[in-house]
Chain A
């Protein structure tokens, strides 16, 4: 059976600079995918590691890959580092690696937002769904990834509905708005700008809108996406060409583009500040890699907060949510066991198929024999043949019900493989 590997780094294990370096945001199409899937044929693309299934999750707080692979996980690290042109030892120093059920547990915790910077925040589920879509499009989602992700989504739903882990309005966007209130007195007198139309920025913008922000501008590379968002949350849409004029006119900026390089530099902001007569500006950079050069924070009347600066929200709320998180962890444990059982039962499939095939063969042989005898007696009709076949197969299925049930149950008690061998021996399936 192949091993499920989960390797990654997150806000706890790596600083924002390291996460930027190892971010895997460029794998947006099948051609760009770092791995080759076994079923795609090894000769089609050179220099790519062939794996059975894979999924890549790259957000501002975590970079993870889930790979179903028979070899050593070191091969996966090499691929990661070669892709990013980074040192493998640097990756080793801040990464984690889980196998099989530990990997499943981790993924379920991530999906349920139990491993998030802000416990219970909803964005991660959307990001995981997007990562799954990319994996499916790349042809890398097979039996295990499909089942694992669908299960992860249902676990997240269960955690949200059965616990209060995500009940209070605490998120990165909440922290951003709280900080904005330290700079601006009356939110209704200030304008906000959304740079990039990502999900996190959308949430923060919605939060600002709820606080009564005067006006919202959305600047995006593609105008259509900005307009789409405008339809959803209001405001005005612009392309990047209008960035400078928009910055001159707005006081709060939330940036979350997918750009690999900073978009807002100190020199650029200096010009902007001159034009806006140095009125204060608050810039919230939740993009990964960062969109705003950290040097911008050194300018007068400009306040820049990046994703790590917003970490404090965790400290403020973690204590209140611990009880709920422990309940959620119990749900995750239950679901991991269920997944383990399902995965174990996968190895039962060949035996079930063999039992059914053998039973079907016996039933068909016996029906044929009976029909021949009846023909000698002058009795034959299509209805009779159909009735006999139905009866024979039904008897076989009923006879096999007890041993198959026994096999299913034995997987629940960790004796599945042993009992499978016994059943195969008793029913002479290998003869």
Chain B
């Protein structure tokens, strides 16, 4: 395997999808990661740590966990490991996630 084959090229003529980020619509090319879409949008912080520090995507390979966002109601989703999908609802996280269910079902 040569080094180039380990990278996927960004799709050039791919169709676009529309996702919602904190209530705003964002248009991104199908096939890119959510982290790439967020960085391309503004590069602004996409979450705050438990101590209130700003973070956004950094390693882009699933290791640093700095890119956590809530996707379709699921907290702590790694944006760099998630491809954009039409209709995706994304929101920034502030601090740690809570306990979702809480109830015996």
Are the chains A and B members of one assembly?
Answer: no
Interface residues, chain A, with chain B CB atoms under 8 Å away: none
